[in-house]
Amino acid sequence: MHKFKIVKAANGQFRVQFAYNAEVMVWSENYASKASAKNCIESLKKNVPDAAVVDLTREETGSGYRFEIADSKDQFIVRFRASNGEVMVQSERYAAKASAKNCIESLKKNAPEAPVDDETVAA
């Protein structure tokens, strides 16, 4: 099952993760407030389905909300950028570009309806 998670980060901060079962597919920067982490999730849910995909390894360019496939140490990573150019989430390194593309398609398909699991709340 796909889901967003809000997790604790260093110094009392919060981080957003999008996971499939136990595998974290993408994660955010650290946010000072939980409200900012929740805003990140809402923005992702709203903007990933129709976001363009820009392949930086092919010297493509783009603007607005977009996915980027980038080269990182002879492997590929996925980044999702906000309309202001800031990176909202990024992925692990993938050996194959096809795996990076699968990550993007999974986000586009599953993020809008994915539940949110706030792991910072005590059980």
pLDDT of residue 38: 97
Tokens, residue 121: 């709340």
Closest to 54 in 3D by CA, of 66, 65, 46: 66
What CA–CA distance (Å, rounded) separates 44 from 81?
Answer: 10
pLDDT of residue 85: 95
Helix, strand, coil fractions of the chain, as percent rounded to 5: 30, 40, 30
Instruction: Indicate whether this model's pTM tops 0.85.
Output: yes
Mean pLDDT per 10-residue segment, the chain (123 residues): 95 96 94 97 97 96 96 93 96 96 97 96 69
Of the candidate CATH numbers 3.40.50.2000, 2.30.29.80, 1.20.1260.10, 3.40.50.2300, the domain formed by 2-118 belongs to 2.30.29.80
pLDDT of residue 123: 53
pLDDT of residue 73: 84
